[in-house]
Amino acid sequence: MLASARSAGRTYDFDGNTYTVQELKEDSFNGLDIALFSAGGSISKKYAPIASDAGCTVVDNSSAFRMTEGVPLVIPEVNPEAMAGMKYGKGGIVANPNCSTIIALMAVTPLHREANVKRMVVSTYQAASGAGQAAMEELELQTREALEGEPITMNIFPFQYAFNLFSHNAPMTDTLYNEEEMKMVKETAKIWNNKDVRITATCIRVPVMRAHAESINLEFEKDITADKALELLAAFPGVTVVNNPKENVFPTPLSASNKDNVEVGRVRKDISRDDNKGLDLFVCGDQVKKGAALNAVQVAELLL
């Protein structure tokens, strides 16, 4: 376990063993086979190439290398072939996609393989977990403050988060799409190896503690029914179908929290179209698990 100097010496218990944190240094990776990086882009940019040069294969959970030419951007259920030829202990870097991209593509990929997605319109409802532990703690604090009529503490976001929602806090680009939205556009094209698919996204922060939700509208090249889509989703690894219209039971952030699988439901024909080439669906996935840590561990398992 490697971290900054201020964390060195801390101990953590896992699976019956106690591990002591060591200070991250340039020689930390000598003799190691795989390193999981999740310390932010600046640390990854500095130390991932050093680790790779030392023969350690890096699975990076930051945005540092996602769009770098020659670096695989991998969701194991979706594009494991992108890692063909890579072996642990031989160096190299594999990038973990953005959480919103992973959760969306877990649901959309089996449908894309069947009927070829031409256009995807995504609206995300992103939980505090995506902004880290401090954001989760501030949401809890603000909720108490709001209910008790006290002044609202705003250290993480410039807006009240409790009982509110707002545009994702990622920096704005020249296109007037923020970086979170553009990640979905660019990463999907790379993961699918398809520059023709058209994607537009609106990413929103919602006062949910954990697990992102996404409303997705799809346009296909070929006909596809809702029943066929449900059949494909049920067979896709890492997906759980939660789709009970009679009892109004569909995916929720709470039901998806702390689960490995992404939940998919509300699957229905797009009634704004006269053909059978459009579907709507709703997806929820745990940002901490499949949206981040779990996906990175699955990539490491692929390397093994």
Q: Which residues are catalytic?
A: 99, 212
CA-only gyration radius of the chain, Å = 20
Tell me the backbone φ, ψ of residue 14, rounded to 5 degrees. Answer: -150, 125
Provide the terminal-to-terminal Cα distance of the chain, rounded to the nearest Å: 19
